Structure 1
Amino acid sequence: MTDQRVNSPRTGATASVAARKASPAVYRRRRFVVVVGLLVIALFLVLVAGFVWPGFWRGEATPQPVPTVTVTAAVPTPTVKAMERSGEETAFQKALPSAVLQLALGALTEAKEPKGEGALEAWNAEYADGDTIEVALLAGQWATEDEAATAAAAWTRSAGEAESEGDVKVGKKVVGQYAIVPAKGGKAVVVWQNGTAVMRASGPADMMEDFYAAFPL
């Protein structure tokens, strides 16, 4: 029997496939592909940002809310001294202030007219700044709020047609009504009710609303 052997073309060597190492050119191509891919992704993100956030193209930052600043002016105070008050005043008299804004109390005398309208007591008061501003006040007190409301309505009618009017409130409770009536010579009259008390003040038109708002009754 004949012994036949098939040898590799290369005598005495085992056939094998050697792994080939990539050349530098291949590495460069791969890096190029990666860089181009990153650039494409970056460009895509920029385009999307431009549509979603228009200010991105102009380099605008997200606007920050502007804080609201409230400036409260100091309440004016009198530069002149108020009159001396008697220690024997009624409770209603004592409730009439010695100063309102920059105006000081200069006179306080009993008023007779409101007593003829049913008032329990009434007073005339004069407030001034010692220079050009003078406000004359008539204040009366009635036994009930209904009687006071009737008196306030009569005083408003006698002053003329109201330019503005509204509720008088103590906290959230409505305790009466107020009305501001224009008068001659750049003046105005404000009439308001606070429970059983009714006040009528006349003076410069540009300050009567502030006078009424600052008055403690």
Structure 2
Amino acid sequence: MSQERAGSGGRVQRPRARVPHSPAVYRRRRLVVGVLAVLVLVLLLGFSGLVWPGFLHAQEPEPVPTVTVTAPVPTPAVKSMQRPDGETAFQEALPSAVLQFALTDMVKTDAAEESDATEGWKATYTDGGDLRVRVTATQWSSAEEATTSAEALTKAAGKAAKSGDVKVGDDVVGRYALTREDAGERTMIWRNGTAVLQADGPAEVIEEFYRAFPL
């Protein structure tokens, strides 16, 4: 049943029927709302850029530098021997300590009498415990003679497990050779100019000992 209302002047007014909106109307409304939302977002970004400039120009964080932790160089736990007065320049070049090893004994060799070497020394380095390295150092009058001596020592020690150049800076001053392990020990032989050195000691430390040896 339809409802009727009396209007002013006694006229009867009928309710207006609702006209349904077409899908195009809804699409236009959504488009208007979307455009307004985009405008609001742009205004907010612009305002943020003015108030906080870094917001629009944020830089990527710089990479954290890699930190390399180097273990401290070991030092001897025992005192080295008292060095005698009047040492030769070659004798003084033999260090009192190498890593955890301290010089505990040094005696002159018979190198000068047995060969053409001008000088020779046998030095013993210990860590205060069971580790011991014995170094034989000879000085020659020329690099050629030193080379011959080093090659003879290397041949006598047997086939080398490792060998290479001895360098001082960028200059090659000789060669080194490391023997294979034998009964827990190894021998390192090297030439530095006119000096020839041979170090015998525990296999696990002899290579580091050589690298730290200043001569």
Counterparts of residues 137-216 of structure 1 (less than 5 Å): 137-216=135-214
> Which amino acid is 2:168 matched to?
V
1:98 alignment partner in structure 2: 96
Specify whether residues 38 and 180 from structure 1 end up closer, same or farther in structure 2 by C-alpha distance, changes over 3 A only. farther
Shift of 1:31: 4.9
- 1:163 is paired with a residue whose SS is strand
What is the alpha-carbon distance in structure 1 between the residues aligned to residue 82 and residue 115 of structure 2? 29
1:11-26 to 2 correspondences below 5 Å: none
Return the alpha-carbon distance in structure 2 between the equivalents of residues 162 and 115 of structure 1. Answer: 29
Which of the numbers 116, 120, 123 marks the counterpart of 1:122? 120
Question: Post-superposition shift, 1:154?
Answer: 0.7
Unmatched 5+ stretches in structure 2: 1-24, 39-59
Q: Alpha carbons of 1:38 and 1:132: their partners in 2 closer, same or farther (altered >3 Å)? A: farther
Matched residues, number: 170
CA shift for structure 1 position 79: 0.7
Deviation at 1:185?
Answer: 1.3
Q: Give the percent of matched residue pairs that are identical in Structure 1 and Structure 2.
A: 52
Query: Runs of 5+ in structure 1 lacking a partner?
Result: 1-26, 41-61
Could you tell me whether the CA contact under 8 Å between 2:112 and 2:120 is conserved in 1? yes
**Paired residues for 1:15-164 under 5 Å:** 30-36=28-34, 67-113=65-111, 115-164=113-162
CA distance in structure 2 between the aligned counterparts of 1:114 and 1:207, rounded to whole angstroms: 30
**3-state secondary structure, aligned to 1:209:** helix
Q: In structure 2, the residue corresponding to 1:178 is in which secondary structure? A: strand
Give the equivalent residue in structure 2 for 1:20.
none
Query: 115-124 vs 191-200, which deviates more?
Result: 115-124
> TM-score with structure 1 length normalisation?
0.71
Change (3 A) 1:145 1:32: same
Q: Which has the higher mean CA deviation after the structures are superposed, 27-36 or 74-83? A: 27-36
Instruction: Specify the SS of the correspondent of 2:130.
Output: coil
Deviation (angstroms), 1:176: 0.4
Structure 2 distance, partners of 1:98, 1:141, is 18
What is the CA distance between 1:67 and its match in structure 2?
Answer: 3.8
Q: Structure 1 residue 65: deviation in Å? A: 5.3
